[in-house]
Structure 1
Amino acid sequence: MATTGQDKTDQAGHAAPLERAERDLVALGILVAAIFLFVGTGSTVMTGIVRSWIYGVGSPDVLLTNALILNIALLIFGWRRYAELQTEITERRKAEENATRLARTDALTGCLNRRSLDEAIAGLIDEAAECNEGVAVMMIDLDKFKRSNDLLGHKVGDAVLVETARRIEALMPPRAIVARLGGDEFICAAIFATGSESAIERLAVRINNGLAEPIVSGGLRAEVTASIGIAQGAGGAVHSSAQVAQDLLHRADLAMYQAKRRGRNRFAWFEQSMEKELRFRGELEQGIREGLKRGEFVPYYEKQIDLESGEITGFEMLARWISPRHGMVGPEVFIPVAEEIGLIAELSETLITMALEDAKAWDASLTLSVNISPLQLRDPWFAQRLLKLLVAANFPPTRLEIEITETCLHENIAVVRSLITSLKNQGIRISLDDFGTGYSSLAQLRTLPFDRIKIDRSFVSSLARSADSASIVEAISSLGRGMALPITAEGVESAEVLSALRRFGQFKGQGYLYGQPASAEAVRRELAAQGLLTSVTDSDPAPETPNARSA
């Protein structure tokens, strides 16, 4: 609003300041004229009055007396108006100073805001250049602040932000600035002597430790940590201070995301490789968006085998991205990115739709297993949308198995329980994937109605050469028998592993020993050769349709 007002004033040729100046001059002129009139008429009138009262000679001039009275009134009016103008000027100055402060600072924390940050850092760079020193910029982002804010309330969240700003400012050295970019992101910058990387790192450690201390507000206890990205630079003749400031902010931002990827609650220095990684990430995001439209994501299928009989019991759907630029891309590359940019639901449901069409041609005894992203488990309407896909494809729910990773159980156990119950009520089976890698308790296995446990491939693939893996697989198989839960072993990649696995009981197995994941058309040909197709024959294959999936 202040900016808009200023624009109007400028367009009017600074009319408001000129009008105020004219009023001030008029009031001052009246006051000065009244003083001169008072001096000129006052002496004559007062002399006549004194002579009349004391000596009884003559009488004061009536006209001059009236002029004197009017002059006194003008003096009172002029002085009062002058005093009002002085008060108005003082208040206006305070208002302008307050408006300037509000325009430059964050209303909640009192730190600099985004608008004034570039100029402030450029000023630090100029100051440092005069002393042949450099400037270090730190991008500070609070870890999982949104979750804390949602759980404890926005009032506590605001208190956390205020206290965070206070702690950062208390730790900063002289000649430093602190700014809040918005949300839970802060920037601090300070002047350091050349070669002071160790001092900068010690400051980052102090900030990490200081922000990790609990914050108590309104009887509630909030605990947050911070990821810090560091970039260092100095001004020079090649680039302006403003450009150097922009570069440092950009690099500190890249380094901060690297700190988050390394586990949060830590700091990371900017490295040139991060620029390449950022460009690749941007290309990946754009490629996923365009690939979804062009149908570049396709389902591949991995066999699930009954280890005792050697017969195929079903397939697990795996996502593949056939990119014109990058070739065949595995899910470990694009699934995390699709989750972060909010496309995982569309990606997953599109592929599930196409996989259901593929699986309809398989023998009725064969099942289809699909993985579900943790983000989809947070959606209370996921079960209803999945049922809609089944109805549209006319696919029996009893042939579908949903795989939920063990780590998903800790996102929100109440939501997961509700989702599992809803899916099972429709006849869909639920398996606990990657068992042994997370933190599932026996209580969760007992209370959540799983239909199957899948042992993580890291234990199975090393079964023949690792006593620890053998002990873990044996314990899981005993647990499955005790709870009447069938078990699937992933990662069966050699005859030695298969032989060792059979000693622990009856399993389903899947892995490269039985072949690589294959396309829908390749699976159809293999099933046709074994007489395991229903409505589609090998001589009349349906065209393969690209689709997408979460892995």
Structure 2
Amino acid sequence: MAPVVESFRALDAQSNSSATRKTLLFISALLVILFVVASVALVQIASQQNKQAIKQGLFYVEKATQARQKSILATVGDYAFWGEAYRHLHVQVDTDWAYKRQNLGPSLFPDFAYEGVFVVDAGGHTTYAVVEGQQSSVGAQQWLMQDIQPLIEQARKQAEDEEPVVGFLLVGGQPALVALAALTPGSDPQIEAVEGPPSVLLFVDLLGPQKLQMLGQDFGIDELHVGERLATAQVRSSLVLPTLNGDPFLLRWHPAQPGDQLLYFILPLLGLAGVIVALITWLMLRRAITAAREMDASYSSLYASQSALAASEARFRDVAEAASDWIWETDAQLRLTYLSARFQVVTGHAESAWLGRPLDELVSCPGGLQAWLSKRSLHSSSKDSLQGQYLASDGRLRICMFALRHVEGVSGITGYRGIVSDITQEVEARARIEHLSLHDTLTGLPNRNRLQTFLEDKLSALPMTGEPLVMLSVDLDRFKSVNDSFGHETGDLVLGEVSQRLRVILRDGDLVARMGGDEFILIVSGISTQAEVKRLCERLIAGIEQPFEVDNQSIFIGASIGVAMAPADTCLAEELLRYADIALYEAKGAGRSTWCFYARDMKERVTERQQLENDLRQALSNNELRLCLQPRYSVNSQCMVAAEALVRWQHPQRGLLGPDSFIAIAETTGLIVPLSSWVLHTACMEAMTWHEALIVSVNLSPVEFQHGRLLARVKSALNDSGLPPSRLELELTESVMLGDAEGALVLMQDLKELGVRLSMDDFGTGYSSLSYLRKFPFDGLKIDRSFMADLHDSPDSQAIIKAIVGLGRALSLTVTAEGVETEQQLEVLRQCDCDEVQGYFLARPMDPDALRLLLQQ
């Protein structure tokens, strides 16, 4: 009984000690409350003054980092999804094309301040590197000093959606903004995708102290820098930014603190009062804590041994019973002598039903457990494992892995013990992974890998002309608008329904595969004539054009089909895929919702266009562009008032090419921005050489309003040339306003603030120009040349011209007629009070020297 009595005395002493401490703490708390109330009142006053300044600073720091991320995201996407980059940096690494020709690398450091540009291949090796504008042999991971393989894999997974990976990393203690995107052939049908994972393009923007400070100054933030410790993130003038590898970093800045003066004056007085309160509290608690420790020591020693023993027993019990595996023991004849409680939970069998029975009746393995054990060393004590299976109580066959070891006694092996692990889910998961590697996860259709195997098997049988193998490349029309209007979730539902419709139309022996995005490949056999293929294409297009009902909404899309046949076109799988894609390109160019059979001249046309595109990329650097100028005259004074800047291309083999030969290519490949910048700068510089203050007019592409930093480029051209903004006129068509009218209006208003003139080109050919003229800040309009053909003898055409001139007068716009080719047309325009005219009758486009000579005459 003595230990029990001592235990109760210890508990009583501990209770008294606890009550004493609570009383002293309560008295101390009352004193602290007085200090806290006074401090809180003061801090609240100062906090209200500082709160708005800190909140505004946080907003602009977030905007600064977001702007930097958007910039590098757009830049890496433009290069990674460019077919030529895929050809020269993945299919075959050509550093001469990338670095010496300045297609990708040296200009990114001075233009965008990207310190690192790397290309990493499928094996994780850096095949091309540019560090601070200089070509280097250093690897991406070596330069970044960390493992970036997970980011590279993520970029490859997102390549199908053309979505780069962007985020922050810490490089040498400094934050760095990195963007990764897998190199893809883009929409170029001439570039064949090679097997294996694509190479990954990596841009690195090191945010050093100077760059961070400049970034902050652009948004009105003082002393933007990296915080020394993450713990200081509790300060409100800081922003914690996550990194791609999970190590966040801290941005700090110096915020305005208008309430600090008040705190500096009064807080010292409150601090003195706090010291006094803390001293009193410390003296009171010191005595109480000393007494409590003496009581706690005696109490702890009393129960130390009992707690250690209980913890040891509980630990073994928890491990045995909480594990997902079950433990077993047998005698030397493999009869079960022990089963853990998890046995019944996992298998559903009762322990009592199996104790004393042979283990190999429960778990079976190839050849039998006893035969396997007989092959092992009789005196081996090492662990062994074997895969087997057993029947659970619910009748399901479970796959398991059981580990065992011998139990040895004086006379030899006395039994066995081990653990059984249920691996059914792992085996099923491996089977699912194998299925997913050959099938599309969204639609369940075979993917590119399965298609390649299926196609090679079919072609290995050498199809005959009478029994060809038909490949249909199907691309959905207007599908992008479904994602934009209804969201990607609705788009996925539509893709799933499309796959079902395609399966229904084809036979069981045929194959439907999804290549990615909205592109499908169909492999069809048993069709002997083109007429049968045409009927199949008609059924496919008709099936897809049926409305898709999603969430009580009807969605309409179409399809274009390219057809290639073996052996008529080729018997090689890669070429058959490429030829079907070329035919699909022709079908889309023919107006969509149709089909097209591959013909050999298609390849030649695509090759020629591809060559022209490649030559155009070199035209700027090779100084092959030429500026032409066509004068514009006043009808009343017959004097030259302006000159329109036109571009020609002096091709080294094809000679002088007009804009109809290459402008469309420039717009579809993104080359229109540098080409237009060249025209804009050259025209402004040329206008400064004229001895008369004439207007120079430059045409803009609708693509430039969506991309290309138009406002900045116009400012740069004016600043570099010194041309007054009032002498620059920008011509644009109404298609600029069709895509994003609100965004176009904002940009046009910004251009007007610079002082430049805006003119609507090709007026009269659109369907809503009147509303645009009333809403948008135009200075003039140009009547399309199509109205000039029969102007002199057509009362209807003359009435239209008079109406347009009257509209221009009402809106205070300068009206210009282009395409004037006869004196009769000029006379009619003079009678209609047209302001200005332009055309071959007055002057043809000429080189700058000829225009200067004309001005002198």
TM, length-normalised to structure 2: 0.50
The counterpart of 1:213, out of the listed 546, 554, 562, is: 546
More divergent stretch after superposition (184-193 vs 248-257):
184-193
239, 261, 267: which one aligns with 2:595 = 267
The structure 1 segments of at least 4 consecutive aligned residues displaced by more than 6 Å after TM superposition are none
Stretch deviating more after TM superposition (379-388 or 324-333):
379-388
Q: Against the structure 1 CA distance between its residues 486 and 209, is the aligned structure 2 distance closer, same or farther, given a 3 Å change threshold? A: farther
Match of 1:411 among 728, 732, 739: 739
State the Cα distance separating 1:114 from its structure 2 match: 1.4
The equivalent residue for 2:359 is 77
Which amino acid is 1:206 matched to?
R
Q: How far is the alpha carbon of 1:351 from its aligned partner? A: 1.9
Which of 485, 488, 491 is residue 813 of structure 2 equivalent to?
Answer: 485
- CA deviations over 1:23-48 (Å, ceiling 9, x no partner): xxxxxxx99x959x99xxxxxxxxxx
CA contact (8 A) 1:306 1:509 kept: yes
Residue 395 of structure 1 is aligned with which of 687, 711, 723?
A: 723
**Closer, same or farther in 2 for the Cα pair 1:104/1:470, shift >3 Å?**
farther
User: Residues 242-281 of structure 1 correspond to what in structure 2 (within 5 A)?
Assistant: 243=572, 245-281=573-609
Opposite residue 543 of structure 2, the aligned amino acid is: G
Higher relative contact order structure (alpha carbons within 8 Å, sequence separation ≥ 6): 1
1:521 corresponds to which residue?
A: 849
Q: Residue 121 in 1 paired to residue 455 in 2?
A: yes
CA distance in 2, matches of 1:155, 1:102: 21
User: CA 1:456–1:174 in structure 2 vs 1: closer, same or farther (change >3 Å)?
Assistant: farther
The CA distance in 2 between the partners of 1:471 and 1:235, in whole Å, is: 58
Partner of 2:179: none
In 2, Cα distance between equivalents of 1:483 and 1:357: 32
Change (3 A) 1:249 1:481: same
Distance in 1, Cα, partners of 2:457 & 2:750: 60
2:325: which partner in 1? none
Distance 2:791 2:464 in 1: 65
Q: Which aligned pairs between 1:295-374 and structure 2 lie closer than 5 A?
A: 295-374=623-702
The AA in structure 2 aligned to 1:118 is Q
CA distance in 1, matches of 2:727, 2:665: 30
Q: 1:203 maps to which residue?
A: 536
User: Bigger shift: 205-214 or 448-457?
Assistant: 205-214
Alignment partner for residue 133 of structure 1, among 441, 457, 467? Answer: 467
Percent of counterpart pairs with the same letter?
34
Q: Secondary structure at the match of 1:513?
A: coil
Give how far 1:74 is off.
8.3
3-state SS in 2 of match to 1:517: coil
Taking a change above 3 Å as real, the CA distance of residues 451 and 148 of structure 1, as seen in their structure-2 partners, is: farther
For residues 809 and 790 of structure 2, what CA distance do their matches in structure 1 show? 22
Q: Does 1:167 align with 2:495?
A: no
- Say if 2:471 and 2:576, in contact at 8 Å, map to a contact too: yes
1:374 & 1:105 partners in 2: Cα distance?
40
Instruction: Rate the CA distance shift 1:284–1:221 in 2: closer, same or farther, 3 A.
Output: same
Query: How many angstroms apart in 1 are the aligned matches of 2:774 and 2:502?
Result: 47
What residue number does 1:20 align with?
A: none
| Cα distance change on mapping 1:305 and 1:112 into 2, 3 Å | same
**Contact 1:128-1:191 within 8 A present in 2 as well:** no
Deviation at 1:500, TM superposition (A): 2.8
Distance 1:465 1:104 in 2: 69
**Partner residue of 1:149 out of 483, 487, 498:** 483
> Corresponding residue for 1:384?
712
**One-letter identity of the residue aligned with 1:383:** L
Deviation of the 1:75 alpha carbon: 5.2
Q: For the residues of structure 1 that align with 2:526 and 2:659, how far apart are their CA atoms? A: 44
Of Structure 1 and Structure 2, the greater helix share is in: 1
Q: CA deviation at 1:465?
A: 5.5
Counterpart of 1:161, as a letter, is L
Report the more deviating stretch, 508-517 or 87-96.
87-96
> In structure 1, what residue type is equivalent to 2:740?
N
Read off the aligned partner of 1:406 and give its amino acid letter: E
Does the residue aligned with 1:98 lie in a helix, a strand or coil? helix
Report the alpha carbon displacement of residue 147 of structure 1 after superposing the two structures with TM. 4.1
Equivalent residues in 2 for 1:453-468, closer than 5 Å: 453-464=781-792
- Where 1:129 maps in the other structure, the secondary structure is coil
Q: Deviations over 1:140-163 (max 9, x none)?
A: 222343344233322222222222
Letter of the aligned partner of 1:135 in structure 2? Answer: L
Moved more, 459-468 or 107-116: 459-468
Task: Structure 1: state its 5+ residue gaps.
Answer: 5-29, 39-71, 531-551
Counterpart residue number, 2:556: 223
Deviation of the 1:218 alpha carbon = 4.4
| Structure 1 length-normalised TM | 0.77
User: Could you tell me which amino acid in structure 2 is paired with residue 85 of structure 1?
Assistant: G
Deviates more, 1:126-135 or 1:298-307: 126-135
CA contact (8 A) 2:463 2:469 kept: no
| Stretch moving more, 386-395 or 448-457 | 386-395
After superposition, the CA RMSD in angstroms is 2.9
Among 400, 414, 434, the alignment partner of 1:100 is: 434
Secondary structure of the residue aligned to 2:364 is: helix
Structure 2 gaps of 5+ residues are 1-121, 124-328, 337-353, 366-386, 390-397, 401-423
Distance 2:590 2:778 in 1: 33
Give 2:175's aligned residue.
none
The 2-side partners of 1:187 and 1:102 are apart by 18
CA distance in 2: counterparts of 1:500 and 1:109, whole angstroms: 64
Distance of aligned partners of 1:374 and 1:213 in 2 relative to their CA distance in 1, 3 Å threshold: farther
Task: Return the alpha-carbon distance in structure 2 between the equivalents of residues 124 and 470 of structure 1.
Answer: 66
Bigger drift between 318-327 and 163-172 goes to 163-172
